[in-house]
Chain A
Amino acid sequence: MPKRLFFSFLLLLLYFCSPSAFAQEKTPSFAHITQEVKEANALMKAGFFEKSLVKSRLALRHAIAIKDDNLIASSYHTIAANFDQLSEYEKAFFYYNKGLIYANKTNNDVLKNWIYNNLGNIYCFDKKQYEKGIFYYKKSLAYSKKINDPSQVVFTKLNIAWAYFDIGQFEKGYPYLKHINLHHRKYGDSSTIVALNMLNGMYYSYKNDTKKAHYFFQNAIKLGNEGAEKSDLSYSHQEYSKFLLKNGDYKKAYENLAIYNALTSALNDEEKLKKVNVAGINLEIDEYKREIEKIESEYKYKQSILLREQALNKRIVIVVISLFIVSIILFYFFFQNTNLKQKNRLNSIKSKIQQNVINASITGQEMERKKIATFLHDNISALLSSAGLHLNVFATNTKNGCQEISKTIALLEEAHDKVRDLSHELLPVLLARFGLLYALQDLCEKNSNSNILFEYESDVAITKRYSEEFEMKIYFITTELLNNIIKHSEATLAKVIIKEQNSLLHIQVYDNGNGFDTTLNHIEGFGITQIRARVDTMKGLFIINSKVGTGTTITIDVPVFES
């Protein structure tokens, strides 16, 4: 039976390919385990299944410890092969499958080839599930082709053909048989020659080519008797007997059947003997299986712990990273926020400075005006007039009127006029001498003309005096408002109404001119802004009430400063 033969072949292969496959990783423990697997294989090959099992169990434990899938798979395979040899097919089946799981994690195609093939054997010969068996054989065939081993291809195809023939699907099996017939001479060996002849016999029996069938069956039996493959010989007799029965040669059929029975019982006896030999270890096997499972579960437990740890680590890493990202974002916002705050603060400081500058300039303005006006009036004009006096004296004394002198006198007078005008503009004499109300009344009178009439109305005594600075401020604010009316409003009537109540001076300036839309801020020009700022510095209230077409009323309320 090729299956049995195949084991020794497999072990030999493993013996050679394992070290080469692992040659790259030469850790001491690894080399040691590899050695153990090798030794286990050698023991099995020599028929010391018990010792081989003990050895391979050790190797498995070590392999699991270093988590080497290849060695684990190899160890399982050796264990399974041992059981297979001991005809413990269920156990073998179990361990082959375990081995397959680990083998599939590696790229050890040689091993995969063998495991698939051996599993196919178990399905076909022991479980009689030919469909599955053929499926596994075909997988094995794929790996055989992948590892480019023609003898393996031949070997696997032989198994496939046999399986198909066993279930009567001769046509499906024939292409495989044909391939073997072509390549057996080159890649086959003596262990499969009996089976090959038998299969050919079966095929021609199916084809009813009795002559060729006779030839191949007899050839198989002849080779079988010459070689060591007794199980194949027994199958050959059985199949030959079937063929003879089919062709009505009952006598010969019976004879062959008898030989088959004799051979089978002999083989069974041999098997029993083997089993008896290992009966001692049979007891151990269960415990052994448990132990292996324990090793397995420990491994799995460790693995799961490891996985859990990894998951935990992963989670921690994710948490840390997300925390990092969140903190970066927060930091960014914080940074932006402080930036913005600083900007705002800077802006507010800027505007404060601006406000202060405006305030300072406004506050200083009145006093500066007064200073300059006084200086012009008192000093310059006094000097100019004394110069005029002296010149006059000179002119009178010389009697005959000199033209140059009178011209100089005229120039001096002109200079005097200009100085006076400027001084008056800076500080109106009426304001300085008679006070705010007098000056405002005069302002209204002076600004009135044929185009516009300024009316002045006040319930405050015209002689009432306030502090000089306060009077100047109010006076110039009012002047500004009146100038705006003259320049922009096109009004024909304007009113200045002054009232004093509870230490508040109330100034209302009304005109019947164009008016403007107060909701549009930009209309409020620089002049108005200036006035508003000035009123603000006096802690006063400034209200504009205007509508397009209905004129403008500006109301100012400021706390008074008495002189």
Chain B
Amino acid sequence: MIPKIKIHLADDHQVLIDGMRFLLHTVSDFEVVGYSLDGRDLFDHVISNQTDILIMDISMPEKDGIAVLKEFKQKGFPCKVIILSSYDDLKLIKEVMKLGSNGYLTKKCAGENIVEAIRAVSNGEDYFCKSVREKIFNSATKNNPKLNKHKPIDNSVLTDRELEIITLISLEYSGKEISEYLFISTNTVETHRKNIMKKLHLKNTISLVKYALKNNLIK
């Protein structure tokens, strides 16, 4: 039997926590091991209940999500963290990602993407809900004349994230730049790149760019 993913919820609204618990309960391998209504003693809580993934709001009384992340960063992360906030400001997202968060979800997307997010993060990937990801990508490629503004073809082989990566690589962004722009680690970028090459059976970066041109990802 596969061990269940232990989840801890932190939000100052009981109603949201109830909703989350109700939703997560529908997934068989998820287990909500606890919840907090503020940021105080959260570090100790997640250690004591051996949480795998902490789903946390930024705005909380007494101690907000940012303070908690700072504490985690300082003391060492006891678990992975997904931020669930109604904010979608890129700077804020960038800041919380810098502080060590593994995923960012807006509350708007919560119902749709939370399960997906938990799975992705659990697999060691960074996760952003769709709207946030698009926003990040747009700001990264902003004013780049080579970008094809029209949405490219539906690609069943590559994920949206992988399409973003391939586009940025084709636009001559370095791995480090991509990691900065997309708020992800260089390792993640490298993993994505390798996955793309594998999926498309490509040998090197040049063929990757050729693919991008062919599929109208760039001009």
0/1 string, A420-449, CB within 8 A of B gives 1: 100110001110011000100010000000
B91–A378 touching, CB < 8 Å: no
Residues 383-417 of A at the B interface (beta carbon under 8 Å): 383-393, 396-397, 409, 412-413, 416-417
B16–A382 touching, CB < 8 Å: yes
- Give the docked Cα–Cα distance between A384 and B110 (Å): 11
B86–A393 touching, CB < 8 Å: no
Interface check A274, CB cutoff 8 A: no
Interface check A381, CB cutoff 8 A: yes
Interface check B149, CB cutoff 8 A: no
- Please name all residues of chain B whose beta carbon is closer than 8 Å to the beta carbon of A384 when the two chains form the complex: 107-108
Interface check A351, CB cutoff 8 A: no
0/1 string, B43-75, CB within 8 A of A gives 1: 000000000000000110000101000000000
- Give the docked Cα–Cα distance between A413 and B109 (Å): 8
Stretch at the interface among B19-27, B157-165, B171-179: B19-27
Beyond A377-B86, A429-B87, whether A385 also contacts B23 by CB under 8 A is no
B86–A388 touching, CB < 8 Å: no
Which of B11, B64, B92, B114 is A382 in contact with, Cβ under 8 Å?
A: B11
A385–B108 touching, CB < 8 Å: yes
0/1 string, B111-138, CB within 8 A of A gives 1: 1101000000000000000000000000
The residue in chain A whose Cβ has the minimal distance to the Cβ of B15 is A386
- Please name all residues of chain B whose beta carbon is closer than 8 Å to the beta carbon of A365 when the two chains form the complex: none
User: Which of B19, B20, B59 is packed against the most chain A CB atoms within 10 Å?
Assistant: B19
- Please name all residues of chain B whose beta carbon is closer than 8 Å to the beta carbon of A383 when the two chains form the complex: 13, 15
Interface check B29, CB cutoff 8 A: no
Beyond A377-B86, A388-B108, A392-B23, whether A433 also contacts B92 by CB under 8 A is yes
Give the distance to chain A from B74, nearest Cβ to Cβ, in Å. Answer: 15
User: Which of A377, A379, A419 is packed against the most chain B CB atoms within 10 Å?
Assistant: A377
0/1 string, A360-382, CB within 8 A of B gives 1: 00000000000000100111011
User: What interface size band does chain A fall in?
Assistant: 35 or more
- Give the docked Cα–Cα distance between A381 and B107 (Å): 8
Give the distance to chain B from A378, nearest Cβ to Cβ, in Å. Answer: 6
Give the distance to chain A from B83, nearest Cβ to Cβ, in Å. Answer: 12
Give the distance to chain A from B13, nearest Cβ to Cβ, in Å. Answer: 4
B64–A433 touching, CB < 8 Å: yes
Residues 22-37 of B at the A interface (beta carbon under 8 Å): 22-23, 26
Interface check B180, CB cutoff 8 A: no
Which of A378, A379, A385, A397 is B110 in contact with, Cβ under 8 Å?
A: A385
- Please name all residues of chain B whose beta carbon is closer than 8 Å to the beta carbon of A428 when the two chains form the complex: 89
- Please name all residues of chain A whose beta carbon is closer than 8 Å to the beta carbon of B114 when the two chains form the complex: 389
A433–B66 touching, CB < 8 Å: yes
- Give the docked Cα–Cα distance between A385 and B86 (Å): 9
A420–B88 touching, CB < 8 Å: yes
The residue in chain A whose Cβ has the minimal distance to the Cβ of B57 is A382
Which of B22, B59, B89 is A378 in contact with, Cβ under 8 Å?
A: B59
B19–A386 touching, CB < 8 Å: yes
Beyond A378-B59, A433-B92, whether A396 also contacts B16 by CB under 8 A is no
Give the distance to chain A from B26, nearest Cβ to Cβ, in Å. Answer: 6
Beyond A385-B108, A389-B111, A430-B91, whether A379 also contacts B22 by CB under 8 A is no
Beyond A378-B59, A386-B19, A389-B23, whether A442 also contacts B91 by CB under 8 A is yes
B12–A378 touching, CB < 8 Å: yes
Beyond A382-B13, A420-B86, whether A393 also contacts B108 by CB under 8 A is no
- Please name all residues of chain B whose beta carbon is closer than 8 Å to the beta carbon of A442 when the two chains form the complex: 91
- Give the docked Cα–Cα distance between A419 and B88 (Å): 12
- Please name all residues of chain B whose beta carbon is closer than 8 Å to the beta carbon of A433 when the two chains form the complex: 58, 64, 66, 92, 95
- Please name all residues of chain A whose beta carbon is closer than 8 Å to the beta carbon of B92 when the two chains form the complex: 429-430, 433-434
- Please name all residues of chain A whose beta carbon is closer than 8 Å to the beta carbon of B87 when the two chains form the complex: 420, 424, 429
Residues 214-259 of A at the B interface (beta carbon under 8 Å): none
- Give the docked Cα–Cα distance between A409 and B111 (Å): 9
Which of A382, A413, A424 is B89 in contact with, Cβ under 8 Å?
A: A424
B26–A389 touching, CB < 8 Å: no
B26–A390 touching, CB < 8 Å: no
- Please name all residues of chain A whose beta carbon is closer than 8 Å to the beta carbon of B64 when the two chains form the complex: 433
The residue in chain A whose Cβ has the minimal distance to the Cβ of B64 is A433
- Give the docked Cα–Cα distance between A388 and B88 (Å): 17
Residues 141-200 of B at the A interface (beta carbon under 8 Å): none
Residues 336-359 of A at the B interface (beta carbon under 8 Å): none
- Please name all residues of chain B whose beta carbon is closer than 8 Å to the beta carbon of A420 when the two chains form the complex: 86-88, 106, 108
A409–B112 touching, CB < 8 Å: yes
- Please name all residues of chain B whose beta carbon is closer than 8 Å to the beta carbon of A430 when the two chains form the complex: 89, 91-92
Give the distance to chain B from A398, nearest Cβ to Cβ, in Å. Answer: 11
- Please name all residues of chain A whose beta carbon is closer than 8 Å to the beta carbon of B112 when the two chains form the complex: 388, 392, 409
- Please name all residues of chain B whose beta carbon is closer than 8 Å to the beta carbon of A392 when the two chains form the complex: 23, 111-112
B26–A381 touching, CB < 8 Å: no
User: Which of B11, B26, B91 is packed against the most chain A CB atoms within 10 Å?
Assistant: B91
A389–B12 touching, CB < 8 Å: no
User: Which of A382, A412, A434 is packed against the most chain B CB atoms within 10 Å?
Assistant: A382
B110–A389 touching, CB < 8 Å: yes
A388–B89 touching, CB < 8 Å: no
B108–A416 touching, CB < 8 Å: yes
- Please name all residues of chain B whose beta carbon is closer than 8 Å to the beta carbon of A377 when the two chains form the complex: 59, 86
Beyond A390-B19, A396-B26, A433-B66, whether A385 also contacts B89 by CB under 8 A is no
- Please name all residues of chain B whose beta carbon is closer than 8 Å to the beta carbon of A397 when the two chains form the complex: 26
Residues 76-114 of B at the A interface (beta carbon under 8 Å): 86-89, 91-92, 95, 106-112, 114
A393–B88 touching, CB < 8 Å: no
Beyond A377-B59, A429-B92, A430-B92, whether A391 also contacts B111 by CB under 8 A is yes
- Please name all residues of chain B whose beta carbon is closer than 8 Å to the beta carbon of A390 when the two chains form the complex: 19, 22-23, 111
- Give the docked Cα–Cα distance between A204 and B97 (Å): 162
Give the distance to chain A from B115, nearest Cβ to Cβ, in Å. Answer: 9
Give the distance to chain B from A462, nearest Cβ to Cβ, in Å. Answer: 11
- Please name all residues of chain A whose beta carbon is closer than 8 Å to the beta carbon of B111 when the two chains form the complex: 385, 388-393, 409
**Chain A positions near chain B (C-beta within 8 angstroms):** 374, 377-379, 381-393, 396-397, 409, 412-413, 416-417, 419-420, 423-424, 428-430, 433-434, 438, 442
Q: Give the 8 A-B CB pairs with smallest separation, nearest first.
A: A392-B111, A389-B19, A386-B19, A385-B107, A382-B13, A388-B111, A381-B86, A416-B108
- The 6 listed contacts between A and B (C-beta, < 8 Å) are A378-B59, A382-B13, A390-B22, A390-B111, A433-B95, A434-B95
